Amino acid sequence: MRIMSESSRFSALILGSSHVKRLNRFRAGDKTRRHFGFARPDLNTVISRGVGGLKLSDFMAEFDHVIGGIRPDHVFVKIGGNDLCSESVNPTKFVQELLAMCRYIKQAYGVKLVFVGSLPYRNVSVCAQRWPIRVDYNSVVDAVNLSVKRWCAANPESNVRFWEHRYLSNASWRHYLLDDGVHFNACGSIRYYRSIRGALIQTVRSM
């Protein structure tokens, strides 16, 4: 389904960690998904960049590297999972720094709207066999997601919005993960793609 007319102009940047990187691989395998359903990718530009292991402290350096001279209308941020694995990271301080960064992106780069994607759960028992992860990771993710959601709802004038991946946070979330306990399998990837596409559709409607 096409979501914009061929005469429309629109640019968006999706930037995040390995979930976005793998989403790009998933989209590359199907030409109907490569441009998120936009009819004219020469007019309607979606830049999607994923960096494995990306953390909040490195986000702005990657942001500057990706956009170059481009000024996207909208930015979708997926960051935090790698940060919150560590028990040394204070969730409250993380939320403060994340939201400050989003406000900076909007003000310094003239971005109209910034979406902050909800962080998905991880299978902690599986992850713990491969690398350090806090035992209460999913509870911390819930708290961070809720804090960001509440702040965005209380500050609509900021044009920083929380985007919840609803179909990836229900009771069946384990069924959407690969054996590594972190990344999405084929079923989860479809849902993740559709969710981010839904955010893009909403940005179009807000123009």
Per-residue pLDDT of 53-71, as tens digits, reads 999 999 999 998 888 767 8
Q: Residue 4: pLDDT above 80?
A: no
Taking the C-alpha atoms of residue 199 and residue 79, their distance in angstroms, rounded to an integer, is 16
pLDDT digits (tens, 9 = 90+) for 86-117: 999 999 999 999 999 999 999 999 999 999 99
> If pLDDT is split at 50, 70 and 90, which confidence band does 118 have?
very high
Predicted local distance difference test score (pLDDT) of residue 38: 74
> If pLDDT is split at 50, 70 and 90, which confidence band does 17 have?
very high
Q: What is the DSSP letter of 184?
A: B
Predicted local distance difference test score (pLDDT) of residue 69: 66
Contact present, 21 and 52 (Cβ < 8 Å): yes
Predicted local distance difference test score (pLDDT) of residue 207: 65
Higher pLDDT, 14 or 167: 14
Q: What is the mean pLDDT of the chain?
A: 90
Helices within the chain (DSSP H only): 18-28, 56-67, 81-84, 91-109, 124-127, 137-154, 186-206
The model's pTM: 0.90
> Residues 6 or more apart from 191 whose CB is under 8 A from it?
165, 167, 168, 176, 184
Q: Residue 44: pLDDT above 80?
A: no
Both tokens of 64, joined, read 């500057």
Work out the average pLDDT over 142-153: 98
Predicted local distance difference test score (pLDDT) of residue 5: 47
Work out the average pLDDT over 38-65: 86
> If pLDDT is split at 50, 70 and 90, which confidence band does 162 have?
very high
Residue type, 54: L
Predicted local distance difference test score (pLDDT) of residue 67: 80
Q: What is the DSSP letter of 82?
A: H
Q: What is the DSSP letter of 174?
A: G
Q: Residue 192: pLDDT above 50?
A: yes
Predicted local distance difference test score (pLDDT) of residue 114: 96
